[in-house]
Amino acid sequence: MADTLPSIQLDHVSRHYHMGETSVRAVDDVSLSIARGEFLALLGSSGSGKSTLLNLIAGLDRPTAGSIVADGADLAALPPLQLARYRRNTVGMIFQSFNLLPRMTLEENVELPLRLAEVEHGERAGRVREALERVQLTHRIGHRPPQLSGGEQQRVAIARALANRPKILLADEPTGNLDSATGEAILNLLRDVQSQLAMTVVMVTHERPLAERFADRLATMGDGKLLATSPAPKVVAQ
Amino acid sequence: MKARDLTDLALRNLREAILRNALTTLGIAVGVASLVAMLSLGVGLQQLASKRLSQSGLFDTIFVTPKNSFRGMGRPKPRDSEPDKPPRPLDEGARKQLETLPNVIEVYPQIRFFTEVRFNNKPYATVVAGMPDSSRNSGAFDGMQGSFFSSTSADEAILQIEFAKDLSEKPASLVGQDLILRYAERQTNPVADGGDVSSAAGGFSVVPKELKLRIIGIVETEPAAGYGGYGNARLLIPLQTATTLRAAQVNDLRDIVRGDTSDKLTYSSLSVRAKSPSQVEALEASIKNMGFNAFSLLDASKSLRTFFSVFDLLLGIFGSLALAVATLGIINTLVMAILERRREIGVLKALGAADSDVQQLFFVEAGVMGFLGGIFGVTFGWLLGRAITFGTNVYLKRQNLNPIDLSSVPWWLVISALVFAVLVSLGAGLYPASRAAKLNPVDALRYE
């Protein structure tokens, strides 16, 4: 169950873009507190700003206003090098299209964040194996992503996201490219990992039924604004 | 990222687009090859010229003559000359005094005289020169047929190849054969009472003499060429042998005309060898202060070095043009790589790569292409230089001329070319690397 101390704190966060003379409010004055170990689902239709908000939490983008404090670090104030370190060590990220490097083997893909984090060479093999064991793909360690099914590729992406033992796992439409059965299996895996490692998970999805089954809390966005947050029905039932 | 991981990733990326990267590397190699080939020709020509001149022993040698002895007919006396004071003779005392000067290795007389050589009962006119024993190590006798003089006073002769060709159609067969040297020995006459120089009394007689010499070697260079005053000597004998012959020389005629009929040995010129060419200038000044004329080819060598520096610079500029074109190839390849690997750059950044990591990755890729291009380029350049030398020597052989080593790739050229190739490649990688580093990860991840 979720810890009461916030893992991620968003205060009046906005992200505005200028497209010619038009100003686009992708995220508009969002305040949200996500507790440690919580599984939060960000729901909304296309263009509602949920992926932009996830990118802000991931440190891939910076807010135009407001503050984001994640694991004690104010992301808006971090210099670029420290923001890169935050992405490397504090968060793990998985994407709808997996974003594995096709020419690398599974082992090399999972090793990539360890290289970036300058983990000692001797320690890497064990960490890679540990991550692949968690997603039950050690037997495919020497294969390349194109040789795997979509569900297997997403499991490799999860292993890669876990390699550096992050405190926060961010998932952008992780089931978007998968059939419903595989998608459900992936969310089961995410849920298991979250509970075993006591990680905070923020997942962007537009599939409300799945979100209701697996998340602790639902946050609904529309036109860049946070419209509502509510506990998932299973939590209410408990 | 650690250097090892960076290099590993860069090599992996280069292997991925192997054809394009190989062509880019080939472009660099062609650029470096043209640069190396041009400079190797420049260096080769410079070495060729320097070697020929140094073999003649001119750069570390000062030629000393008595004052006024080389003023041509009709030339006015220098203003600072002292008309009433006779010039200091270049005798044995002067030679010993010159030997005591600092940084002098040896002082030996230039003994050259006209002679008639009889070989197979046929006469051949030529000039004989006495060679000091030190000339053995000057490099001028490297690669000679036969051997150097067995002793400093041996009755042996080394022939210059052109003279040997005059003597026989098969010059090599001359080694071991004898020839007769006919020369004019100077014999001092007793001075008549009154010592009237206008009379026939006093002076010296010129008596024809013969000496049998064993031919022991044939040399292709001209060790006694250059500043000698009487043309190139084509028959070389040991200096001590030449001295004991007391052969009449050109300065003997000058001495008798001046009325100097003493039996005292004087030299027409002495060669003073310095320890190194850098000491020649100071030594030359000291000798002039002693009251002699001194002359060296130091100024000529300085002009030669300046000429070759400019020559090398021009060759380098022309050679660099191809490398400039190759630079554009690197920029093009890396910019294309950014477009192709846009999404990958986004993934790297999402996984925690800093801008500097991405920048370094592209830099290493450019550097590796430059290094490999440099290695291939130096090899191609060397081969090109050898091919030009080969072609030139085929031409020279057809013209019945001796082969030459036209190109030279010294170590400094190899290392400079490699460093230059890497630096140029890194320079070319600056813009693409900076562009890749500045990619917005959100945009890059969205890129299909």
State the ipTM, two decimals. 0.92
pLDDT at B234: 86
pLDDT at B199: 46
Average pLDDT of the segment spanning B407-436: 88
Residues whose CB falls within 8 Å of the CB of residue B157, separated by 6 or more in sequence, listed in order: B179, B181, B213, B214, B215, B216, B235, B236, B237
State yes or no: pLDDT of A186 exceeds 50: yes
Q: CA nearest B268: which of B129, B140, B115?
A: B129
Strand intervals (E) in B84-121: 104-109, 112-119
Nearest to A58 among B1, B16, B350 (CB): B350
pLDDT at A38: 93
Q: What is the 3-state secondary structure (H, E, C) of B178-236?
A: EEEEEEEEEEECCCCCCCCCCCCCCCEEEEEEEEEEEEEEEECCCCCCCCCCCCCCCEE
Nearest chain B residue to A91 by CA: give it: B351
Average pLDDT of the segment spanning B403-426: 88
What's the DSSP call for residue A178? S
State yes or no: pLDDT of B60 exceeds 60: yes
User: Residue B197 corresponds to which tokens in the numbers above?
Assistant: 């120089």
Q: How far apart are CA B343 and CA B308, in angstroms?
A: 53
Q: How far apart are CA B21 and CA B29, in angstroms?
A: 12
Q: Does B17 touch chain A (CB under 8 A)?
A: no
State yes or no: pLDDT of A113 exceeds 70: yes
pLDDT per position as a tens digit, B330-380: 888 888 888 788 888 999 999 999 999 999 998 899 899 999 999 999 999
Q: CA nearest A186: which of A101, A96, A110, A103?
A: A96
Residues whose CB falls within 8 Å of the CB of residue B63, separated by 6 or more in sequence, listed in order: B110, B227, B269, B270, B271, B272, B294, B295, B296
Overall residue count recorded for chain B in this entry: 448
Nearest to A84 among B4, B346, B352 (CB): B352
Residues whose CB falls within 8 Å of the CB of residue A3, separated by 6 or more in sequence, listed in order: A35, A36, A37, A38, A198
Q: Does B16 touch chain A (CB under 8 A)?
A: yes
State yes or no: pLDDT of B278 exceeds 50: yes
Element (H, E) at B347: helix B342-350
Residue B190 — pLDDT band, cuts 50, 70, 90? low
pLDDT at B250: 67
- Name every chain A residue with its beta carbon within 8 A of the beta carbon of B348: 112, 116
Average pLDDT of the segment spanning B111-131: 88
Calculate the average pLDDT of chain B: 81
Taking a C-beta distance cutoff of 8 angstroms, is the pair B42, B311 a contact?
yes
Q: How far is B308 from chain A (nearest CA, A)?
A: 51
Do the Cβ atoms of A101 and B344 come within 8 Å?
yes
pLDDT at B52: 66
State yes or no: pLDDT of B87 exceeds 80: no
Which of A53-67, A114-128, B140-154 shows the lowest per-residue confidence on average (mean pLDDT)? B140-154
Radius of gyration, alpha carbons of chain A: 17
Q: How many helices (H) and strands (E) does chain A have?
A: 8, 10
Question: Could you tell me which residues of chain A have a Cβ less than 8 Å from any Cβ in chain B?
Answer: 55, 58, 60-61, 80-81, 84-85, 87-89, 93, 95, 99, 101, 103-104, 112-113, 115-118, 121, 160, 164
Average pLDDT of the segment spanning A183-197: 90
**Percentage with pLDDT > 70 across chain B:** 83
Nearest to B442 among A55, A80, A113 (CB): A55
Nearest chain A residue to B2 by CA: give it: A118
Taking a C-beta distance cutoff of 8 angstroms, is the pair B293, B64 a contact?
yes
Give the residue with greater pLDDT, A217 vs A233: A217
- Name every chain A residue with its beta carbon within 8 A of the beta carbon of B357: 84, 116
pLDDT at B187: 77
Nearest to B347 among A85, A101, A164 (CB): A101
State yes or no: pLDDT of B80 exceeds 70: no
Do the Cβ atoms of A87 and B352 come within 8 Å?
yes
Residue A124 — pLDDT band, cuts 50, 70, 90? very high
- Name every chain A residue with its beta carbon within 8 A of the beta carbon of B349: 60, 84, 87
Which of A36-50, B104-118, B180-194, B382-396 shows the lowest per-residue confidence on average (mean pLDDT)? B180-194
pLDDT at A1: 45
- Name every chain A residue with its beta carbon within 8 A of the beta carbon of B355: 80, 84
**Percentage with pLDDT > 90 across chain B:** 17
Nearest to B351 among A80, A116, A118 (CB): A116
Candidates B348, B349, B351: best to mutate against A (most CBs of A within 10 A) is B351
Q: Is A126 exposed, middle or buried (0-12, 13-18, 19+ CB in 10 A)?
A: exposed
Torsion of CA A146, A150, A151, A155, to 10 degrees: 50
Average pLDDT of the segment spanning B405-415: 88
State yes or no: pLDDT of B236 exceeds 70: yes
Strands B178-188 and B270-274 come out as unpaired
Residue B46 — pLDDT band, cuts 50, 70, 90? confident
Q: How far apart are CA B423 and CA B370, in angstroms?
A: 8
pLDDT per position as a tens digit, B156-183: 999 988 899 998 888 889 999 999 999 8
Do the Cβ atoms of B352 and A93 come within 8 Å?
no
pLDDT at B228: 47
Average pLDDT of the segment spanning B141-146: 81
pLDDT at A7: 87
Nearest chain A residue to B441 by CA: give it: A60
Give the residue with greater pLDDT, B276 vs B421: B421
pLDDT per position as a tens digit, A72-90: 899 989 999 999 999 999 9
Report how many Cβ contacts below 8 Å link chain A to chain B.
65
Taking a C-beta distance cutoff of 8 angstroms, is the pair B94, B232 a contact?
no
Residue A180 — pLDDT band, cuts 50, 70, 90? confident
Strand, helix or coil for residue B59? coil
Q: What angle do CA B211, B213, B219 make, to 5 degrees?
A: 135
State yes or no: pLDDT of B103 exceeds 90: no
Q: Does B5 touch chain A (CB under 8 A)?
A: yes
